[in-house]
Amino acid sequence: MAVTPGWCGAVAGTMLVLAGCTAAGGGGAGEGDASASATAGPGRGPAKVAQERSERPYDLAGAMLDRLEPLWTSYGEFGGPVAIHDGTVVAVDHLGDPDVLKGIDLETGEVRWRRASSRGALVGARERDLTSFETSEGDTVVLNVGPAERESADGGSGHTGAILDPATGTILAELPRAWMSQSWVCPGAGGLCLGVSTDLTRTWSTVRIDPATLAAEPFDESGIHDGVAEARVLAGGVQAEIADDGAEALVRRGDDGRVLWRLPVDDLEPGGSVLGSLAAATVREDPTGDVLHLSTSLGVDPDATERVEVRDFTALSLDLATGEVLARRDGRLWCHAEVLCSGDLALVAERGGEWVQDPGDLVIAGAGARASDLAWEAELPDAVLHSREGGHGYASPPGTLLAESAGVVGAINLETGAFTALGEGTVACTQVRWSADAEYASLSGDREPVRSGLMARPCRGATAGGSAAGSADAGDAVWSRAAIEGAATVGEVDGRRIGVVVEEGQLAAYDLTEHD
């Protein structure tokens, strides 16, 4: 089973602090076969722990009016993802041929290093997946897929992959030449999994980059743990595992692979599957014990449909320490760390397997981490919480949840559920960046622009209503603190908190320290 993970933008993007978005499947597909490309395997990115809300309420109205000037800008056609590693911004610049992976000083904007790069053998509507992972010693390293060669000096063909030190761009290890597609966290084994092929056909296999040696070696999920045929990383050390006898369970393991608890999926839904469904997971911190929040379409095979309703999902809260089901809510999904969604909202498959939201009447509800009771419920008619057609959306600042309802853009009060239309000032609108790619055109024969990530721009809150998100006429709208904090990737250097935003035509960095 293989599912493209574009639904992550529609569901886990809706779940603004839910970053543990995963899609079932494995391997990858090459550019040389259209049907193979349509079922490209997933990127199984690492889950992030949801941050607790600040004790100080976020002043959205004030932040929308608080104009910030950039510390520095870096010209180029940057896409995503952008990452920050120990004071270095790592991002791909798609301006020119080939692409260039750059390491940029977070504090000064100085380009520390450059490496020729490429998107690998991905379909035109897919962007790069997981590109960094931790070594056994706890150091972060970065995967760079170099430009493809059909007939290289050594007689081979394919991409030249390398593992880099993000601070210096130094090559720490070189990978055997091969056509390289998608990358994801190797379930149960650590390190990075990468889809490779020797001939750009349907024959794809998986190699694992060992976190101890950085060597690439063949990887078979059936060899992860005794009796496990397939696995999928969720969050907090929890995996969906299918045993050799076909039984599926949610399993949490310790660092040594020992099973801490096991929850059979049949106990949740007879005949259902988490591994073979759309699913997003995150860990929510709580003083009485951390909780795994899981949204999954247990009974729906996403390969067999182009539309999935919110009512097809089940939202679960599991005690991370014991696996106990604290709460189960059928027909709902987690659309924020503290908010559940239900109603007529649907996810619809677009080009290249991307899933976007189809507006509908939505019911939102406030939920505690461990409590089964709901704190409040509210209705949002004709609502959109994230990416609609074309990938447009809103980037919510911390502690807030932006939404569009009946053509009006507003903020949802997380304490009461009240929806308030935005006033003067700006928030960040997001949209997909499409870039020309000579290598992709050469390999596929398709000269259409390729998807290269998301970019953001400021949209006026008072005028954004009534227009598709991200396409509102911003005119000379300026970057406010609310827009920056919604759209930025944030890092710290020498006690300063700096946010980096992918803007049209440049990267821009802003100092957010004085606003903490």
Burial of 331 (0-12, 13-18, 19+ CB in 10 A): middle
Contact 11, 280 (CB under 8 A): yes
- Give the distance, in angstroms, between the CA of residue 458 and the centroid of all CA atoms in the same chain: 22
Grade residue 60 by pLDDT with cuts at 50, 70 and 90. Answer: very high
What pLDDT, in 10s, does the model give residues 122-173? 877 777 777 899 999 999 999 999 998 876 555 568 899 999 999 999 999 9
What pLDDT, in 10s, does the model give residues 222-274? 777 888 888 888 988 899 999 989 999 999 988 778 899 999 999 998 988 99
- pLDDT reported for residue 39: 22
Share of the chain above pLDDT 70, in %: 81
Tokens of 497: 């908190």
**Model's pTM, two decimal places?**
0.83
What pLDDT, in 10s, does the model give residues 375-398? 999 999 988 876 555 557 888 898
- Three-state DSSP class for 474? coil
> What residues are paired with 343 via a beta bridge?
362
Please provide the DSSP assignment of 403-440 as one string. EEETTEEEEE-TTT--EEE--SSEEEEEEEEEE--HHH
What pLDDT, in 10s, does the model give residues 456-489? 999 888 654 444 444 444 556 899 999 999 999 9
Q: Residue 333 and residue 316: Cα distance in Å, rounded?
A: 8
Please state whether 323 falls in left (phi above 0), alpha (psi between -120 and 50) or beta.
left
